[in-house]
Every structure is written in structure tokens, then in C-alpha cells.
Amino acid sequence: MLIEALEGDVTVVYCNAIAASVQIEVEPVGRWFEAFLKRRNRNVSASFQELEEEEELSEESEDEELQLEDFPLLRTLDPKDWKNQDHYAVLGLAHMRYKATQKQIKAAHKAMVLKHHPDKRKAAGELIVEGDGDYFTCITKAIEILSDPVKRRAFDSVDPTFDNAVPSKGEGKENFFEAYAPVFERNARWSSKKHVPRLGTMDSSFEDVDHFYSVWYNFDSWREFSYLDEEEKDKAECRDERRWIEKQNRAARATRKKEEMNRLRTLVDTAYSLDPRIKKFKDDEKARKENEKKAKADAKRKEQEEKERARQAELDAARLAKEKEEEEAKLVAQQAKKEKEIQKKAIKKERQKLRTTCKNWNYFGDNESDSVKMMEDVEKLCDRLELVSLQSLNEGLALGSKEEGKVAVEKQVQEVNAQLQKEKDAEVQARQAVRTTVQASGGGGGGGKGWNEEELPLLIKAVNLFPAGTNARWEVIANYMNLHSTSGIKRTAKDVINKAKNLQKLEPGQKDEINKKAFEKFNKEHAAVPQTVDNAPTGFIPMTETNTASWTTEEQKLLEQALKTYPVSTPERWEKIAAAVPGRTKKDCMKRYKELVEMVKAKKAAQEQVGSKSRK
């Protein structure tokens, strides 16, 4: 290095008297040899003294600029838990962390020692904890970790202040560059290679973006997790235990390393999927390919449009025709429904009018028995007569006297009874035909006695009434049939068993025919108003339309509960019972009660008869 000339000195150049240069090997010794080695290792040409002076100046400037932050929790740290402490915060370098140089770390440690050394604090009158229990041990551990490059790198890898979070897709959709640029810059510190490319801007070229994601998809991270080892191999008592600890630690490090690489891969994948530039590049490529296919696509599209237009025209024509037909059918159905509703209301009105008229005249009877009988006949007329007949009858009752009205009603009742008798005769003939068919199919019972049409549904009812498990089941079924059959033929248990087996062999169509006939008979027998049941209140009982639907289990429970709630002495008992069963009228409840009473009586009678025979 040339020394600066002093003021007034003159520089003289000798041109002719200079001797030829000679190369001589010089071997440095002492401090000059040490300076030579340092220059060679550092690949610099400056002298040792200059380097020392620069280092001293830099240390002084760093010492002057270095400002330590107080760590309020320093005195509360547990030396035994040193591994979980923040070493940078302990030395007051929490604001610098991994950017702190070794000189700054040593300066910070020096300042902390001067302030917190036990001798200093003891001299100030502070009570010191003997042994390793004093918090100053935490400062010693901090400098031990941060002064060793290997240990410091292990601690920096698990820096508790480092944000490992990866922005979600929702965060990056609106502000992609603002959300992801800081994250990539933050994670670039883990790269083993220098000069990691930045995320860039929306104006970055395709080559820059491709290079950025190429680097991050092949990211080589130096981050390792040896600091989090749960076991220390130095504490092992033997070689086998040390090997086992090393094996466990290697497995834990590999797991954490894998999680770290997955985190980085998730970051890159998420950013790639949300990067508007990638979408732009893809759109441009897609547009280029679409332009190449546009000519072929246009021709094909036009052809398809023509076919679709023709097909749509056919569909529209068919749809309009169908809608027109449906509209016409709908109008016809609405008109028919309207007429039916009008007729239904008119019939209901005429029926109510007939009931009211007869009720006002006490049903043309002088005593209760005649009134009840006439009330049943009136209900029969309401069920059987058509609208015209009801209107004619009501007009006659309105214009005539009580006696004339009674005669008109009785005449109408006789005509209805005659009609019912004709229907009954026709039904008997139909039964005879069905019985002939059943007998021809092997339906003969025991002893050569044929089974008529009435006995077959009765047998089916008895089999359902007395299920399997009933004591002396088939004897009970036989007695039940003997009690209720009108044929006069006494059936034995053997006859019943044989017939039941024959019924099982019948075709489904024949079984349905038998059940259908039985149901029609049941409806005709119960079309008229039933006789008043036991314990029913006396006097006039206004009847309403019956509900022909079968009784559900819930309705049966409500009826039984209502019968218990309203005893015989309750005024207007059946009106209250009907109110307790939604959807059922008083007439329905009375009919159901009578059916249940008859069923229970028949069942008890059949079982008692079998019991008496067994006792004999």
C-alpha cells in the first residue's frame, strides 16, 4: 500500500539507473506469516494490520449500534427447562434473531454477564440460588447454543417465532401477491442455495414464473429438527442404548422433515393453483389451441344446430298438442268434479232436510221404540235414495201433514226394502255359483258336507281371530263357526283343519274372490243404521255420514280410552266419545263398539265351550 506524500515533497522518477528486477523467494515468519495465511484463506490482498483495523472498527461500530431488548421473564426461567427457552430473547436479541452476527451475540452475552452474573447481583445484595438453579444458567445455555454454528442452526430450524402457516385458498384468491409474496420470502431462508427467486408481479414473463416454480418445486431445505430430540445419546449408559436413542431420534427427525417438505409442497401447490399468471398463461395456450380448431368446430356446430332446430320444432309441436289435450281433459275433469260436488252437496242437504223433518215430527212415533225403528228406516232411505227421490220425498213431507208424511216415508221404505231383497236374491245366486266352483276345486269338508259361501269367509275370520298358540285352537275355531254359521251344519276340528289346508292350495284369484264377496256382504249388512248398543243413551240420536275406512291402531286406542273416560252415566256420552276420536263420527264409534262387543262375546263363548268339553 502506497503511503500518501506529505505536503512539499517532490516525486522523482529515475529512468536509466533502474536495475533489472530479480525474483526472490521470501518466507514470512512470526506475525507476518500469520497475516499471510489469513490473506490466503480469505482470498484478499490487504495486509493483516489493515484487516485487524477494519475488524476493530466494525466491532466498535456494531457495539455502538447494538441495542439489547429486555426480557421480562428472564428471572422466572427454569434452568432445567432450558431447551424450551428462546435463546435470542434471553440474550436480548429477540428483534434480530437469525440475522445477528457472532460478534453481536458475543457482545450481547458480555452485556448480560455484566448485568446478571451471580457475583454482581450478590455484591448488590440480591439473594442468589446456589448451584445450577439460578437463572444465570439459562444465559450460559443460550450462549452455548448460539455460539456453536451447528447447534445454532438446529435452534434456528425450530425458531418458535417463525410462522409456518400457509395461506388458504380463500386468502389468496383476492390478493394473491400480497398474501403469498411475504410467505415465500420468509421460507426462502431455509434454502441451501443462495439467490432464491422472488414471486414477482403480474407483469412477470413466462420464463421468470416458470423458473420461480421450478426452483420451489425442487427446493432443497437445510432445515433439520435435531433440537427437538427427546432423548440425548450422551446420557446413554452403554453402546446399545446409545444406538437405540440414535435410531429413535433419526426416525423422529425424518418424520418432522417429511412434514416440513409436505408443508412447503402444499405452499407451492396452493400458490400455483391460485397464481393469476398461471391462469393467464393457460388461457392464452387454450385460446391458441381453440383458434386452431375453430374452423372445424364452426362447421360441425352449424350442422348440429340445424339438426337441433328441426328436432326442437318437432318436440315443440308434440308438446303443444299434448298440453292442449291435457288442458281439455283437465277442463272436463274439473267440470265433472264440480258437478259431482254440487250433486254431493245437494244430496247432503236433502238428507239433512229429511232427518230434520222427521226429527221435528219425532220420527212419526208415539214411543221410543217406534221412533228408533223409524230413525233406522230414515237412515236407510238417506243411504239408498238418489237425489231426485230425496227431493221428491222432501217436497211431499213439506206440503203434507204428519200422517201423510208418515205414509210417504213408509211407502218409500217398502220400495227400498223390496230393492234390497232383490239384491239379496241375486247375491244368493252368486254365492251358489261361487260355492259350486269352490266345491269343484276340492273344497269339500269332512264327512262329505259341502262348505257354502257364507262359511268360507267365516272360517278365514276365525283363523285370524284365534292365531297360532291359542289353547285347543282348532276346537275353538270349530265352535266359533258352529255358533255363527246359519247353514246348520256342525263342523268338527278335523273338518276345519282339512278345509284350512284346502284353502291354502287355492289360487290367489280364488282367494281374492272369496274375500271380495265377504267384504261386499259386510258393507251391505252394515249399510243400515245399527241397533243401539248396550248402555247407549236413550232418545233421539242424530246420525251423520259414516267413515267406511278401517280402524287404525291409534283410533282403536283412542276409542278404548274414551269409553273409560266417559262412563254410562255421562250425558251425551257418544257425542263426547266421537269428539275424542278424530275423523270418526258418533255412528262410527257406536258401530265399532257393537262389533267389538260381539267379537269378544263370540270369542269367550267358543273358548268356554271348548273348556267345558275338556272338563267333561
Distances (CA, A) of 77 to 96, 134, 139: 21, 9, 10
Check whether 605 has a pLDDT greater than 60. Answer: yes
With DSSP H G I counted as helix, E B as strand and the rest as coil, what are the percentages for the chain, rounded to 5? 70, 0, 30
Check whether 446 has a pLDDT greater than 50. Answer: no
Q: What is the mean pLDDT of residues 198-227?
A: 87
Q: Is the Cα dihedral 236, 239, 242, 244 positive or negative?
A: negative
Burial of 575 (0-12, 13-18, 19+ CB in 10 A): middle
Span of 394-403, 415-424, 564-573, 605-614 with lowest mean pLDDT:
605-614
Distance CA 598, CA 277 (A): 89
pLDDT in tens, 67-90: 777 777 777 787 788 888 888 888
Q: What average pLDDT does the chain have?
A: 78
* pLDDT given at position 314: 92
Q: Based on DSSP, count helices (H) and strands (E) in the chain, helices before strands.
A: 22, 0
pLDDT in tens, 107-152: 888 888 888 888 888 887 777 777 666 778 888 888 888 888 888 8
Q: Per-residue confidence at 481, pLDDT binned at 50, 70, 90? A: confident
| Number of CB atoms found within 10 A of residue 117's CB | 15
pLDDT in tens, 343-356: 888 888 888 888 88
Burial of 461 (0-12, 13-18, 19+ CB in 10 A): middle
pTM higher than 0.75: no
Distance CA 543, CA 397 (A): 20
* pLDDT given at position 320: 92
Answer yes or no: are the C-beta atoms of 226 and 249 closer than 8 Å. Answer: yes
Check whether 541 has a pLDDT greater than 80. Answer: no
pLDDT in tens, 286-331: 888 888 888 888 888 899 999 999 999 999 999 999 999 999 999 9
Q: Which residues have a Cβ under 8 Å from the Cβ of 463 and sit 6 or more positions away? A: 477, 500
Check whether 271 has a pLDDT greater than 70. Answer: yes
* pLDDT given at position 545: 47
pLDDT in tens, 1-16: 445 555 655 555 445 5
pLDDT in tens, 332-381: 998 988 888 888 888 888 888 888 888 887 777 777 777 778 888 888 78
The share of the chain scoring above pLDDT 70, in percent, equals: 81
Show the beta-strand stretches assigned E in 84-200: none
